[in-house]
Amino acid sequence: MALNFFDQFDIHSTLGLPLIIPALMFPLILWISTNRLVKNRLSTLQSGFINLLTKQLVLPVNISGHKWASLFTALMLLLISLNTLGLLPYTFTPTTQLSMNMALATPTWLMTIMVGLRNQPTISLGHLLPEGTPTPLIPMLIVIETASLLIRPIALGVRLTANLTAGHLLMQLISSATLATASSFTTASSMALITLVLLSFLEMAVALIQAYVFTLLLTLYLQENI
């Protein structure tokens, strides 16, 4: 039974076609079907949301880092789409796979490091050694600071994977309890069903917050290097 709880992270297929493919194409279909030249309520709402999102992302970054706003906004919208994808039936959340999260975190983190080494190499390397460090502690602190720098993309990927995986497993447990008690314990089943509905709203909030935290940390890393 314990192994069945992890089956939800498998890619389901129908007639040999993975269902994740049409699920990933659904936002693109919506975007293509919308007339981008004619303003309507939906497009106005989308533009307002993206503008607000972009302002919040570039808030901790100075003027020279605003040219990266489109990249971070696109990354956050992609993460929101992928995180909420698993809440649809017969799909799975791609961001519950650590390999995918690391594929997103490592290049973007490396981009912030390369920007710092190109623009201000002395200051970027100076972050590895705090000012006023005693001479005997210099080698140890350099190793510690280097390790903390290299662990950043791992922390980004593991944080996103762990939060989404834990929420989906909890929803699976509660839904199993709801079905198991549906025929005999009406009160317990009703309580479990209410908990499941509330947890679904919480998972939607977690999906949005984790996408925001992932992107915000990258903007903070960029700010350190510009």
Instruction: Return d(Cα 64, Cα 15) in angstroms, integer.
Output: 51
Residue-range domain boundaries for the chain: 16-225
What type of residue sits at position 44?
Answer: T
Q: 77-119: per-residue pLDDT in tens? A: 888 888 887 787 767 778 888 888 999 999 999 999 998 888 8
pLDDT band, residue 1 (cuts 50/70/90): very low
Q: 216-225: per-residue pLDDT in tens? A: 999 999 888 8
What is residue 217's predicted lDDT score, i.e. its pLDDT?
A: 92
pTM for the whole structure: 0.81
